[in-house]
Chain A
Amino acid sequence: MSEPRLVEVRRNVLKQNDVIARALREQFRATGVFVVSLVSSPGSGKTAFLEKTLTQMQPRYRVAALVGDLATENDATRLARSKAPVKQITTGTLCHLEAAMVQNALADWDLNKLDLLFIENVGNLVCPSSYDLGENLRLVLMSVTEGEDKPLKYPTIFNSADVAIITKNELAAAVEFDWESARKSIQSVRPGMQIFRLSAKTGEGMEEYFDFLSRQFAEQRAVAKI
């Protein structure tokens, strides 16, 4: 029997998403909006963290958020309390956001009137890693209650993110959170990753993170103007 005939095609499966993500990134650059996406497990305290972020950054910056929710959730209502413009993207059964959904959600927004845009992905540490959303910065959140080895269980998402945020630090003592071991896990899957350890509840560690965001925003503005 002869060998089956093979036809080489070499086609990137996520090309469509990548093309839209690239267009979004260019649009963000041109309008000077700095875009931060958040990925995490459900229950990592992501919504509380984002609510604090929106409230805190708002006096100084024009902020807004897109929130990816499964049909059963509704984080957008809660985030609306921050008074920042918030739009929900209902993903139905889809467990992640794709660039096209972000593009559709932004279609009637004037990005020139924004400084910072946050995109909260669906609570899931697997699927979002494959999809570029055109963001400038991807934050991965894990709470102290999730275990120090979380990064080793989900290396791909940690590897795809830029910054790690360890949340619910007010519970660290109660759950005997081993900070050094968590730090090692993160550095193992993503060497050089910057880590913030904070509590959205008590405010501990939040200032440092806000300063970081402000610096990142300023840097992007400086680059965009050149």
Chain B
Amino acid sequence: MHELSIAMSIVDAALEEAQRRGIQVSAVHLRLGALSGVVKDALLFSYEVACQDTPLQGSQLIVEDVPVIVFCLQCQKEQLLQSVQLFACPECGAPTMNVRQGKELEVFALEVKEEEVRR
């Protein structure tokens, strides 16, 4: 399981960005591609562990699942993949490896603690 080391990288990245902006974070928004190789449940669990004894302790990890989008040469357009077990165009069935989206593992946004907003 590599989710703990991924979670630690997420915490590091979020802390660095928060520090640079001088904000306190209540939640971290993550974009997680279906092809990222990261298991969401394991990541959520690991996140709590990775936050311990850091300024992010008690913060939430909000994961946005990013589906795979491929480009179909036959249809000449982007198509949403139905399953990562079948790399074929859902419309015409042509096999495709032209991945346009789905490998994301990105700290997308930070949610600022409310008491600070009020101040």
Interface residues of A (CB under 8 A from B): 2, 4-14, 16, 94-96, 126-127, 129-130, 152, 155-157, 159-160, 187-192
Contact partners of B90 in chain A: CB under 8 A:
none
Shortest Cβ distance from A125 into B: residue: B37
Decide: A127 and B2 in contact? CB cutoff 8 A. yes
Sorting the interface of chain B by its residue count into under 10, 10 to 19, 20 to 34 or 35 or more gives 35 or more
Decide: B108 and A9 in contact? CB cutoff 8 A. yes
Contact partners of B105 in chain A: CB under 8 A:
12-14, 130
Residue B48 lies at the interface, judged by CB distance under 8 Å to chain A: no
State whether A188 and B97 are in contact (beta carbons under 8 Å apart), knowing that A10-B108, A11-B107, A127-B1 are contacts in the complex: no
State whether A7 and B112 are in contact (beta carbons under 8 Å apart), knowing that A156-B37, A191-B95, A191-B97 are contacts in the complex: yes
Contact partners of B21 in chain A: CB under 8 A:
7
Contact partners of A189 in chain B: CB under 8 A:
84-87
Residue B52 lies at the interface, judged by CB distance under 8 Å to chain A: no
Contact with A along B76-102 (1 / 0, CB 8 A): 000000001111100000011100000
Q: How far is the CA of A9 from the CA of B14 in the complex (A)?
A: 9
Contact partners of A130 in chain B: CB under 8 A:
2, 6, 36-38, 105
Decide: B27 and A4 in contact? CB cutoff 8 A. yes
Contact with A along B55-95 (1 / 0, CB 8 A): 00000000000000000000000000000111110000001
Interface residues of B (CB under 8 A from A): 1-2, 5-6, 9-10, 13-14, 17, 21, 23, 26-27, 29-30, 35-39, 84-88, 95-97, 105-112, 114, 117
Contact partners of B97 in chain A: CB under 8 A:
190-192
Contact partners of A127 in chain B: CB under 8 A:
1-2, 37
11 contacts between A and B (CB under 8 A): A5-B112, A6-B111, A6-B112, A7-B21, A9-B13, A12-B106, A94-B2, A126-B1, A127-B37, A152-B85, A156-B35
Decide: A8 and B108 in contact? CB cutoff 8 A. yes
Number of A-B contacts (CB under 8 A): 103
Q: How far is the CA of A6 from the CA of B60 in the complex (A)?
A: 13
State whether A9 and B26 are in contact (beta carbons under 8 Å apart), knowing that A94-B5, A126-B37, A156-B35 are contacts in the complex: no
Contact partners of A6 in chain B: CB under 8 A:
29, 109-112
Q: How far is the CA of A188 from the CA of B85 in the complex (A)?
A: 6
Q: How far is the CA of A126 from the CA of B37 in the complex (A)?
A: 6
State how many angstroms separate the Cβ of A95 from the closest Cβ of chain B: 6
Contact partners of A187 in chain B: CB under 8 A:
95
